[in-house]
Structure 1
Amino acid sequence: MRPLSTKLAAIAPSATIEITEKARKMQAAGTDVISLSIGEPDFPTPAHITEACIDALRRGETHYAPGKGIPELLKAIAEKIEQENKIPCTPDQVIVGCGAKDSIYEACEAVLSPGDETIILDPSWVSYEPCVQIAGGVPVHHPLHQDTFQVDDSLLEKVTKKTRMIIVNTPSNPSGAILNHESLQLVADICQDHDLIVLSDEIYEKLIYGKIHTSIGAFPGMEDRTITVNGFSKAYAMTGWRLGYAVASKEIIGNMNKVQQHTISHPTTFAMYGGVAALKGPQECIEEMRTEFERRRAFVLKSMDEMGLSYAPADGAFYAYVKVDGDDAEVANRWLEKGHVAVTHGSAFNHPGWVRLSYAASMDRLQEAMRRISAVL
């Protein structure tokens, strides 16, 4: 048989999923593993969202829907983006995909030509690079400032004639850091000066502790240069629903829709009615989850302090990004094998020397996990 795709041969499997699977295998074999390796809220989807989906099923909303999403959801997203993110938006500037990851991939396909460079700010989520590569682009990594996890002028050194896009993620997965106004303004200035597009992943925007979220698409001159990606997985505990969206210029959305028409067709029809209920229904559920995450965050960071471990600014999301001595993959493996606590090594995020702990777990499990990590140390 001839060799399979050489393009995919160069792409590594998702490290977060790989580690989670290893932990599950240990659990299946009878080992009590505490998994802090995957970014998934441990709360049920709010009842009013689930009921809206069930009602849609009962109404017979089980057939094909418009390619970009049902009109009710496109309208709800456009209103949310205008009111909350301060980005001018109409429903024809919105596309709904199968999760924010799907929207990121479609965005890369929509704007990148073969050989186009995309700057990725490290530490970075594991799927940015593969999405760029699958779309035929060339990922160019650039480290954020190692103390503040902010952008500085050194970013300009990575801009070339081949640069087409910059990816920003705030709040950040894995670090939990939030890009401040100065960092976002610097990215915006570079994009305008060099005719670039920015892909802004804002999936954790609702999970913030003592800071304010700012969308780069709201900066003057950035409306048509920004692809804002968001979704329902984190804020509404809807990871399994596979529902995300992107907002951009009509031209970019049109290209993304071409990709969607020939791949997924559209997201699951009845799931989209749950998305409408999420955006238009009661929002207290978000604050309840955020408050609980903040309580867990305080405990985990205090535990890190007591163990003498330093960590990145954990101002958003639900991660503690911890600096470790030695090889980070070896450290993560030791914590799993000896402490039975699963975490993700920083090398997976193009940032060796760190590990990521998710505190999307019950307080009882977090307390036991901290005890185990301390014993291994």
Structure 2
Amino acid sequence: MYLKKHSINAIKSYCFNENLYYIKKDTNKNDLFYVDKNYNSLCILSDEDKFQEVYSIDDIVYVNTLHGKEIVIDNKKIEGFDLYFNVISFEDGQYLAYCMERDKVTNQKSTIKFDFRKNKIIWRVDKSSGFNYIGKNQFFICFIDIIKELSIIFCYNKINGELLWQFDLKELGTYKDVLSIETPYGFEKFIGEWRGQLFVGLSESLIVSLDITNGKVINKWDKINPGTTLLFSAEEKLVGLGGIGYWEIDLKTNELTITYLSEELMKQNVRGINDLNIYGVTDAHFFCAADMKIPDEPDHHIGAIVAINRQTLKIDWKYVFDDSQGQWTTLSEGPRIDNAKLYQLDSRGTLHFFEKEVDKIIV
């Protein structure tokens, strides 16, 4: 299905559009490179500001630095902004960013909607967080204060920044943790928006849907990992994988179905699917990071990529990483897929490149 073609060591962060971009780890600096179709690495920028993370949307690549400045690479033109671009969207033919801004005098954080082509602030609100979601007509922030044990979701009008509603997670009550202590639910992630509902993943394996017009709770589902749950709008369902299980929530009926993959995983010598928030999805397969059993080494495992058929839930393909030097490779995140290529970052910082085989199974 896929063949391994190349690998690069000491990767700190990577993303792709027409080319793959990555930040190279170094004790003194972190240079930014891109990789051409022949796997040649070319340095674009040498670190003067401690590059932290690289990511992309459409044809633009962004770089977070240690001091918050973003560098935009757009047709080889480089500009810098003293903002943290939390999330970026393409709206009405414009590239717009929802950014964290910090007042240099008061140190107060706020969120702004910013048109970086025009270098213009569209609106500003006084809440800020690393947890954000852009809906069809709304923008959502989950503001978290650990000291005060606050987790509040704020919903804003995307056009003018008007606050529409807020939802305090304390309204959901508490659950008993492993020490039987009553604990308020914590925020994990925004899953997505579908037909007037916002799906939110919370701690203790809970997913809730909120009415997008007023923030009221519509439905709840528990005993599933929200971190690995995805929204498939066209199929009208939420889907997730992790451990030895696969689950679906039919959004038309609100029915939750859990299928255990123990027999198939055992047959393939797979200990379990990693509970990672990133995995690749095609029309036919889920591509997931997994742990393979090691004969006579019950306390260790080898990292692997598995392709699980979305119809049969069988493993159609797997790639097991080499342990020939006695260094068992584990995976810190799931694989990412871009057209005919698959990328996998391992826990030692090595990025592995795979290409789809010609005249094989089409995914």
Q: TM bucket by the smaller chain?
A: under 0.3
Instruction: Say which structure, 1 or 2, has more relative contact order (CA 8 Å, 6+ apart).
Output: 1
Q: State the TM-score, normalized to the length of structure 2.
A: 0.26
Q: State the TM-score, normalized to the length of structure 1.
A: 0.25
Larger radius of gyration: 2
Considering fraction of residues, name the structure with more helix.
1
